[in-house]
Amino acid sequence: MSGHSKWATIKRKKAAVDAQRGKMFTKIIRELMTAARKGGGDPESNPRLRTAITAARGVNMPRENIDRAIKRGTGEIEGQTFEEMSYEGYGPGGVALLIDTLSDNKNRTVGEIRHILTKNHGSLGESGCVAWMFTLRGMITVPAAARDEEGVMELVVESGAEDFSLAGDAYQIMTQPGDLFSVRDALEKRGVEITSAELARIPQNTVTLTGKDAEAMIRLLEALEDNDDVQRVSANFDIADELMESLGG
């Protein structure tokens, strides 16, 4: 199972406290604003905005917050402008890291990311050093308790998705990037509960971590995602299930 799946599972176990929810709201609001600024405020013609709205609804963001962020992005009301930057580097055990950010101050952001990496046994790399290790895919998350595995497999085939896997307490359904929304809509029409639908970078291969390297990797990911400028982190690590349970709490 890929690092994306492992880390997503751990995050679900660690979630649901108000401080984390507030930080998630900040990140999603930035994405809503940026998506609307670049592609317009109509989600039907702006796939990126549709993805951001889905994420906002997934964390129960109030509708007025979503609408206000979109209007800030389109310029209907005054708002900040955030610039997209991606940084590449390495974590403990040689794990490849791809860090996507939205920032109003690039110098501050790169300095903070470099500091976080150095403090947690990682390092910042050159542009292009690890990006080639990841493939862009659509990923849809469905609560495992809601459906049996055979039923999910049948729906995956009918919806046009590529594959699915069980990751902790959820099924993760994979699609081609351009099929993400058509597959999501097909599943919703069949009454499937969707936790999230997003574009994700999936590693082509993984590095297996144990012991102190595994613990350090989780601390590094937590520190990166605690930074307001960091939108998402992709990594190519794998951790044994029994160790993941202890790390996830």
How confident is the model at residue 11, as a pLDDT?
A: 60
Structural domain boundaries in the chain: 15-74, 83-132+205-248, 133-203
- Tell me which of 3.30.43.10, 3.30.750.24, 3.30.70.980, 3.10.290.10 is the CATH number of domain 83-132+205-248: 3.30.70.980
Is residue 176 within 8 A of residue 138, CB to CB? The reply is yes
How confident is the model at residue 18, as a pLDDT?
A: 47
How confident is the model at residue 16, as a pLDDT?
A: 46
How confident is the model at residue 125, as a pLDDT?
A: 95
Q: Six-digit token pair at 135?
A: 């493939």
How confident is the model at residue 113, as a pLDDT?
A: 97
Q: What is the mean pLDDT of each run of 10 residues along the chain (249 residues)?
A: 53 52 86 95 91 87 95 90 94 95 95 96 94 92 81 84 83 90 88 84 90 91 92 88 55
Domains 15-74 and 83-132+205-248 share a fold: no
Euclidean distance between CA atoms 206 and 1, whole angstroms: 9
In the chain, what is the straight-line distance between the N-terminal and C-terminal CA atoms, in Å?
Answer: 19
Q: CATH assignment of 15-74? A: 1.10.10.200
Outline where 75-189 has alpha helix (H). 106-119, 149-159, 180-189
**Is domain 133-203 given the CATH code 3.30.70.980 in the classification?**
yes
